[in-house]
Amino acid sequence: MLEDSFTELERTRLEKLHALQAEGLEPYPTRAEQTHTSQEAIDAFIRAEEAGDEIPIKVTLAGRLRALRTMGKIAFAHIDDRGGRVQLFFRINDLGEKKMAELDKFFDLGDFIQASGYMFRTKRGEVTLYVEDFKLLAKALRPLPAAKDEMVDGELVRHATLSDPETRYRQRYVDLAVNPDVQKIFKVRAATVRALRQFLDDHDFIEVETPILQPIYGGAAAKPFVTHHNQLHQDLFLRISFELYLKRLLVGGLERVYEIGRDFRNEGVSFKHNPEFTQLEFYWAYADYLKVMDFTEQMIAFAAEQVLGTTKISFDGKEIDLTPPWNRLELRQGLIEATGIDIDEHPTAESLEAAMKAKGLTAKPGSSRGKLIDALLGDFLEPNFIQPTFLYNYPRDISPLAKNQPGNPTVVERFEGFVGGMELCNAFSELNDPLDQEQRFLEMGRDYKSDDEERHPMDDDYLNALSYGMPPAGGFGIGVDRLVMLLTGRRSIREVILFPHLRSLAEDDSN
């Protein structure tokens, strides 16, 4: 039972709940009213004040009680609502002894309250609601952690507050109720998604939704989650990317499509990996990776401008400028500069591995040439790309869905965008030759060990779709969570996901 878990503090609150019920008061009334937010009420008062208007601003406010200072015959309180915070003033002369006693006896910090009256300015100058009537809207049986806040020059200063990351993530509702900065992160997140959507809509893209439950997963090299449909007696995979479905839509004549949604990857969890994460992918007929590159830097700069009002951001102690154009560096050239190895001189994994060993670099045994290059990229290039950088022209064998560079059989037209030392997005000229695509799937099967869960399974229906003809196109994918990390200056992906994945707690933690 819930009650069994209550601490002494919580039992005290429960007793108050019973006591107010005994007086005929309702701790969880059904109806509530809110005519203004705190901000609207304050703004309305200030406008009237400036206009010299005597008409009182009558309002009904509702919110969570965050501070209560009772002083015998008067009391001050602060409540939080979606507009911010506002002070309430209670006076026994206006409310009567019974209501004043109610406030003192039955209300706790964290309770939801509704209060009606008119706005005025206290002697200290704070615009405040002069309460003529109030009622409890919802009793909080558990106390919120944060204790004291202070307004200094209009800025909310929080003294001791909830900071334990485990409690913050497991009980995000408490974190949000107590930490205004956390609410801000998710407002920025919403604004970011809105901006991306607007940018794509404005460029004549249409938003679509494709299956999350898929009989064959693909479009990325990642391990999937598996689930099962009982009635169909069929195993299904949670998607690891949207790619193969979105490109089927290009075949169908939807020339510009995008999807914003959740991907699921059954892999390690880290400060930049959550098992489920939000992805944006778009596919653009008659474009190629160079057009997509231009478009990408415009889109990200637009989002930053919309959300923050600037393209200059601060991340991990570094100032980053998202203003286009971004740096562009060919992968081969980048590796020559960073490692002294020219990958073009090493057409095989064996040759490249030998070159790495000659430089004192260890290679993971059995890696393909592409995987070796990818490892070099991750070790020597990625961490240094603090300012936005496009790295382009990737090895073919780690890019099975990208189109070859004309005249170059080992290099594909692909780029990745890096910001803040982190991979942000990935794009290429889409492979639309069904025969080549089939060959790539087969090569995957040959190059990757059969027990490698990251191999790309053959998707016959996708090949069938390509066989009807897919226009040449540029395609793009971005980790929305990582973009939000950049725009909010958070170093951990968990900070920008409302409910990041945490291990379940044991039912019985006494063992």
Partner RNA sequence: GGGCGUGUAGCUCAAUGGUAGAGCAGUGGCCUUUUAAGCCAUUGGUUGGGAGUUCGAGCCUCCCCACGCUCACCA
Q: From the CB of 434, what's the least distance to RNA, in Å?
A: 19
CB of 233 to RNA, least distance (A): 30
Shortest spacing between CB 262 and RNA, in angstroms: 14
Which is closer to RNA, CB of 228 or CB of 364? 364
Contact 87, 129 (CB under 8 A): yes
Q: Are 81 and 38 in contact (CB under 8 A)?
A: yes
Q: Which is nearer to RNA, 179 or 311 (CB)?
A: 179
201 membership: H or E segment, kind and range: helix 180-202
Smallest distance from RNA to CB 423, Å: 8
Instruction: Report, in Å, the least distance between residue 267 CB and RNA.
Output: 5
* Shortest distance in whole angstroms from residue 382 CB to RNA: 8
The minimum distance between CB 92 and RNA, in angstroms, equals 5
Burial of 492: CB neighbours in 10 Å, binned 0-12, 13-18, 19+: middle
Instruction: Tell me which amino acid residue 273 is.
Output: H
* Residue 131 to residue 498: CA distance in whole angstroms: 35
C-beta atoms surrounding 247 within 10 Å: 24
Choose between 162 and 188: whose C-beta lies nearer to RNA.
162
Whose Cβ is closer to RNA: residue 234's or residue 384's?
Answer: 384
Instruction: Give whichever of 72 and 360 is closer to RNA, judged by the CB atom.
Output: 72
Q: Output the smallest distance, CB 309 to RNA, in A.
A: 28
Q: Tell me whether residue 297 or residue 423 sits nearer to RNA (CB atom).
A: 423
How many whole angstroms separate alpha carbon 316 and alpha carbon 343? Answer: 32
Q: Phi-psi category of 196—alpha, beta or left, where left has phi over 0 and alpha has psi -120 to 50?
A: alpha
| Complex with RNA: residue 307 or 444, whichever CB lies closer | 444
Helix, strand, coil share of the chain (percent; to 5):
35, 30, 35
Per-residue DSSP letters for 106-175? Answer: H--TT-EEEEEEEEEE-TT--EEEEEEEEEEEE--SSPPS---EEEETTEEEE-S----HHHHHHTHHHH
Between 141 and 307, whose beta carbon lies closer to RNA? 141
Instruction: Answer for the pair 115, 78: CB distance below 8 angstroms, yes or no.
Output: no
Amino acid occupying residue 52: G
Question: Coil, strand, or helix at residue 261?
Answer: strand
